[in-house]
Amino acid sequence: MTIQVGDRLPEAQFRVMTGDGVQARTTDDIFKGKKVALFAVPGAYTGTCHKMHMPSIFLNAYAMKDKGVDAIAVVSVNDAFVMNAWKRDTDQRDEAIFLADGNGDFAKAIGLEMDASGLGLGLRSKRYSMLVEDGVVKKLNIEPNPGKVEVSGGDTLLGQL
């Protein structure tokens, strides 16, 4: 069942790269007591994700934070090493936390997984943006076509703040 506005995020673990190596972070670590703009992409470095979705997030990051967003998070079904390299290559001002959902457990738990096996990518996350306040979904923008960024970009979420 797909998560809906008003639902609480399920308990899940992500992996993030820190100065001490790969560390686990829970949904509470990321979302409890905070207003978080969460962006999900099917895959790090893939064409649409890298060239369209990421720029839409970082071009709007300051404005989102000016409107009360405490943190920006990017999640993908990739490992923490790939997500760390992608952060290095896209997040020049260190504005976001990059969350590795390596096995797609979070994507499955919220009902937003997709099968991209036909493209050789296996299980992935659907493309979406979500505003989460203290663990509760306040806004949810699911992209109908994973190869486009029409409703899930940073500009759309900024307009909803």
Q: What residues act catalytically?
A: 49
Whose tokens are 């969350």? That residue is: 99
> Which candidate, 142, 128, 135, places its Cα nearest to that of 40?
128
Burial level of 129, CB count in 10 A (0-12/13-18/19+)?
buried
Q: Tell me how far CA of residue 25 lies from CA of 63, 67, 108, 156, in angstroms.
A: 26, 25, 17, 27
Phi, psi of 78 (to 5 degrees): -140, 165
Phi, psi of 32 (to 5 degrees): -65, 125
DSSP 8-state secondary structure symbol assigned to residue 55: H
